[in-house]
Amino acid sequence: MPTERMEAFSDGVIAILITVMVLELPTPHGTTWAALHDALPVLLTYVLSFVYLGIYWNNHHHMLQATDRVNGLILWANLHLLFWLSLIPFTTAWMGQNHFAAVPTAAYGIDLLAAALAYYALQKTITRDQGEESLLATAVGRDLKGKVSPLLYASGIGLSFLNDWLAVAVYAGVALMWLVPDRRLERTIDRRPTPGPGESAP
């Protein structure tokens, strides 16, 4: 099976998640800058989650550029990733509305950790299907960032019981680390022979 419809469905879900979070933003009480200032923790949490969903969309996009076909198992591994991403508006609202209290901040980190593991599982499912010599397997290589992130999330979860700002700083740090798009994949894809006209995926 080709990858188009799985890409379209994932695009749809991530696009909706990113925008649905806006609905959770409560309209500020009052019409002063102070009212907007009170809404700041909620707005900052929104920015962080927007960036995380943007990163996932971006890397998902790169990963599927290096994928030629999907099967039933890959479809479910993808749905598993989308499940954890779909909880981000829920954990974002809980954390933001409670000004980064310990348990909601830990729950936010657990969701990020589960999404990272689900992404890793999806990547493994694809490379196992397409062989160790495949484009994706070569491009991903040792995948250092993918292995460090779960450790950082775990430390963020622990930190949220000591100091909430430290925990959020760790989550923001991982986001910054990933903001740089996955050059490995882009380079490897660029080295492929150019596809002829009529092929919708390179």
Identify residues 153-172 at the interface with its own copies (CB under 8 A). none
Minimal distance, residue 185 CB to its own copies, in Å:
9
Instruction: Yes or no: say if 69 and 3 are a contact pair by the CB < 8 Å rule.
Output: yes
Neighbours of 30 (CB within 10 A): 10
The smaller minimum CB distance to its own copies, of residues 55 and 116, is found at: 55
**Which residue in 1, 6, 39, 37 sits closest to 22, CA to CA?**
39
Assess 182 for contact with its own copies (CB under 8 A).
Answer: yes
Show the binding pattern over residues 59-98: x = contacts its own copies (CB under 8 A), - = does not: --xx--x-----xxx-xx--x--xx--xx-xx--xx--xx
The answer for 187, left when phi > 0, alpha when psi is -120 to 50, beta otherwise, is alpha
Strand extents, DSSP E, the chain: none
Residue 131 and residue 79: Cα distance in Å, rounded?
Answer: 22
Within 104-143, the residues that bind its own copies by CB under 8 A are: 104, 107
Candidate ranges 121-129, 132-140, 146-154, 173-181; the one touching its own copies (CB under 8 A): 173-181
Minimal distance, residue 30 CB to its own copies, in Å:
8
Within 2-41, the residues that bind its own copies by CB under 8 A are: 2, 4-9, 11-20, 22-25, 27-28, 31-33, 35-36
For the chain, give me the number of helices (H) and strands (E)? 10, 0
